[in-house]
Amino acid sequence: MMKRFILVIIMMISTLGVYSFTNNTLDAKKTSYASYYHDKFNGRKTASGEIFDNSKFTAANRTLPFGTNVKVTNLKNGKEVIVRINDRGPYHSSRSLDMSKAAFDEIGDISHGTIPVEYEIVD
């Protein structure tokens, strides 16, 4: 009887520990590189079904849900922009975000293909 009680307590602690760990990782800031969409994608459908517009502040990410707002900070100059996830990608292992040209230009120089960024989910 005592062994079952101890087992139940251990399972409860493990469950709460995993729950708190996963919540913290979702809200954590992450660092990576961001790139921007080429103009040839303007007017094409995104993975969410929206029509892509390079003048809107949107981005692609491999795992974040569509509609998630993300604050992106350029690590070189500290400039920030908020983008909405509406597509999947990028499909390059060193990058986590493909941003619209307008969003990228807001925080970086489009003459450079990628910039180091920190990003986090915002409400």
Confidence of residue 25 (pLDDT cuts 50, 70, 90): low
Report the candidate in 116, 121, 44 with the shortest Cα–Cα distance to residue 85: 121
Domain ranges of the chain: 36-121
The CA-based dihedral angle spanning residues 41, 54, 65, 121, taken in that order and rounded to the nearest 10 degrees: 150
Top pLDDT among 112 and 12 is at 112
Report the candidate in 66, 70, 86 with the shortest Cα–Cα distance to residue 32: 70
Top pLDDT among 17 and 75 is at 75
Q: Using the predicted structure, report yes or no on whether residue 34 has a pLDDT greater than 70.
A: yes
pLDDT digits (tens, 9 = 90+) for 42-58: 999 999 999 999 999 99
Mean pLDDT score of the chain: 90
Among 3-7, 69-73, 84-88, 94-98, name the one with the lowest average pLDDT: 3-7
Under DSSP, is residue 78 helix (H, G, I), strand (E, B) or coil?
coil
- DSSP E strand boundaries for the chain: 30-36, 58-60, 69-74, 80-87, 95-99, 114-122
Pick the CATH number of 36-121 from 1.10.357.20, 2.40.40.10, 3.40.50.2000, 3.40.50.720: 2.40.40.10
Report the candidate in 22, 96, 28 with the shortest Cα–Cα distance to residue 63: 96
pLDDT digits (tens, 9 = 90+) for 75-108: 999 999 999 999 999 998 899 999 999 999 999 9
- pTM exceeds 0.85: no
